[in-house]
Amino acid sequence: MAAAAFLSARAAPALLPPSRRLSRRLVVSRAAAASASSSSGGQGGGGVEFQGKVGFLGLGIMGAPMASNLIKAGCDVTVWNRTKSKCDPLLSLGAKYEPSPAQVASSCDVTFAMLADPQSAAEVACGSSGAAEGLAPGKGYVDVSTVDGATSKLIAERITSSGASFLEAPVSGSKKPAEDGLLIFLTAGDESLYKRVAPLLDVMGKSRFYLGDVGNGAAMKLVVNMVMGSMMVSFSEGLLLSEKIGLDPNTLVEVISQGAISAPMFSLKGPSMVKAAYPTAFPLKHQQKDMRLALALAESVSQSIPTVAAANELYKAAKSLGLSDHDFSAVIEALKAKVQSSQQ
C-alpha cells in the first residue's frame, strides 16, 4: 500500500474511550530494571538481555545516537537511512547495512524506526519496500517516532497484518539525552513485545512507561511536547522583558533555576539564548510539528488550548524567518522580530 494513500485515509487524531485509556500503566526506571535483572540472575555490567538481531531505521539527530548506544552495548544492529552516508559512523562501530527498510526488517528480529514526521513514519513502515514487506510472525516493529495517534494506529494495523507485533514508543528527550542513553520511552501496544524489547529500551533510556493500547503513547508524547513548547515561549518572553527593563537575563536564569519553576531546559538553554545562539538539540520545525499535532488532538476532543495555539503561531513565525533547523529555543527570535515590527 502506498504511504500517500495510507495517510489519506486518516481520520482526525482520536484517543480511545475514557474507560479504556491508560488501562495498565507500568512505569520502570533503569535503576529498577537493573535491580530486577540482578536479583533474577540476569546479565549485568553492560550485558544486554536480548537474544536476536536489531534493526534501526532513521539515523538523524535522535536515531543515530540511539543506534550507536545499542551497538556499544553489544547488540547486533543493522541500519538503514535514506541518505546512506549517515550510516557510515554506525558502520564504523560495527553495524551492518541493508538498502531498504524491508530488507532490514526481514533480516532482524526486532526493528526500531525513528523518523521525522507522520508522513515519513508511514512511508518507511508501509510504503514501497517499507518495513512491513519484510515482517512476518515472530518479528517485532517498534516505532519511536513522534506521530499522531491516527498515524500510529494505521501503522500498527499494517504491521500486525503481516503477523508481526507492534509497539509505539515515542521518546521524551532530545539530542543530549539520546547520546547519554537517558531518554524516556512512552510505549503502547503489544505488551509481550514491550517486555521483549525492555532490555533494549533500558540501553537507550532511563525510564519507560507502558500506557496500554496503541495511540496512548503518541498522545502522551504530544501533550508533553505541547507543554514544553509553551514553556519555551513563556521563558523567551521573560528573558526579553528582563533585558528590556534593565535586568540581567543571566541572573533571571539563575533565579529561576533555584525556585519552584526550575527546569533543566531553562538552565541548559537560557545562557545560549541570551547570546542568541541556538545549537540544535531539538529542531524548531519538529517542535512546531508537534504543536500542530497537539492542536489537532485537542480539536478532536473539543478541548480548548489557547496558550498552545498562540505559541504555535510564534513557532510558525520563526520558521518563516528561516530558523526551522535551529534549536526550538530560537523561537525567541520570532518575539524579537515581533517587537521590531511593532516599533516601525
Q: Which residues pair with 57 in a beta bridge?
A: 80, 113
Candidates 139, 175, 221, 319; catalytic one: 221
Instruction: Using CA atoms of 173, 49, 95, 67 in order, give the dihedral in degrees to the nearest 10.
Output: 0
Choose among 199, 144, 133: nearest CA to 166: 144
Q: Could you confirm whether 72 is annotated as catalytic?
A: no
Q: Are 286 and 171 in contact (CB under 8 A)?
A: no
How many whole angstroms separate alpha carbon 153 and alpha carbon 267? Answer: 37
C-alpha cell of residue 54:
536489531
- Backbone φ and ψ of 335, nearest 5°: -70, -40
How many whole angstroms separate alpha carbon 174 and alpha carbon 132? Answer: 28
Give the catalytic positions in this structure.
221
